[in-house]
């Protein structure tokens, strides 16, 4: 697992932009964290990193927002789905076979539908001594190809590139 901290939404966006540079078509990102953790902020950074110029809005009510970039980007938020059968009704699982990049907020809602090979990103809130918030962002890759991709990302983060 690779862990990094960010001290503003701008820093989270910048981190997600750098992360996006390593993503390949078909990569699935399971993005967890409590309400207001910064999942949508992170997703915006990924979209920007993928060269998407459209305004990124939260898919809380639409469940899935689709963006046409060089690589299509599917931004999901399953928070409002009541169960996995409702997810299947709207075809959530089909997106995992497309050659776009899929990012899922609230992945625990569709855990058994998620492919085994995915990148897990978890965001936690932390508080500094002066009471200011920060975020602890954890990355874990599952599967050989994604572990390799993650290794390259981490190497560059550590090198400060």
Ligand X SMILES: Nc1ncnc2c1ncn2[C@@H]1O[C@H](COP(=O)(O)OP(=O)(O)OP(=O)(O)O)[C@@H](O)[C@H]1O
Residues sharing a CB contact under 8 Å with residue 160, sequence separation 6 or more, in sequence order:
none
Tokens of 40: 């949508």
- Contact call for residue 109 and Mg ion (CB under 5 A): no
Largest CA distance in the chain: 47
- Contact call for residue 40 and Mg ion (CB under 5 A): yes
**Cβ-based nearer residue to Mg ion, 5 or 58:** 58
Instruction: Write down the least CB distance from residue 38 to ligand X, Å.
Output: 3
**Cβ-based nearer residue to Mg ion, 57 or 97:** 57
Instruction: Write down the least CB distance from residue 14 to ligand X, Å.
Output: 10
Cβ–Cβ contacts within 10 Å for residue 129, how many? Answer: 5
Residue of 24, 13, 81 whose CA lies nearest to 49: 13
Binding window for Mg ion (CB under 5 A); candidates: 30-38, 53-61, 95-103, 153-161: 53-61
């Amino acid at each position: 697992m690779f862990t990094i901290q960010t001290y503003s939404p701008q820093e989270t966006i910048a981190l997600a932009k750098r992360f996006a540079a390593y993503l390949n078509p078909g990569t699935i990102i399971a993005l967890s964290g409590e309400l207001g953790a910064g999942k949508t902020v992170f997703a915006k950074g990924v979209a920007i990193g993928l060269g998407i110029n459209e305004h990124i809005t939260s898919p809380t009510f639409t469940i899935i927002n689709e963006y046409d970039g060089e690589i299509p980007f599917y931004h999901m938020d399953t928070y409002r789905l009541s169960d996995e059968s409702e997810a299947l009704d709207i075809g959530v699982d089909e997106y995992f076979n497309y050659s776009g990049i899929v990012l899922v907020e609230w992945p625990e809602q569709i855990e058994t539908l998620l492919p085994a090979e995915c990148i897990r990103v978890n965001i936690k809130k932390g508080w500094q001594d002066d009471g200011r918030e920060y975020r602890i962002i954890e990355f874990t890759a599952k599967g050989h190809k994604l572990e390799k991709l993650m290794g390259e990302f981490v190497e560059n983060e550590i090198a400060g590139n």
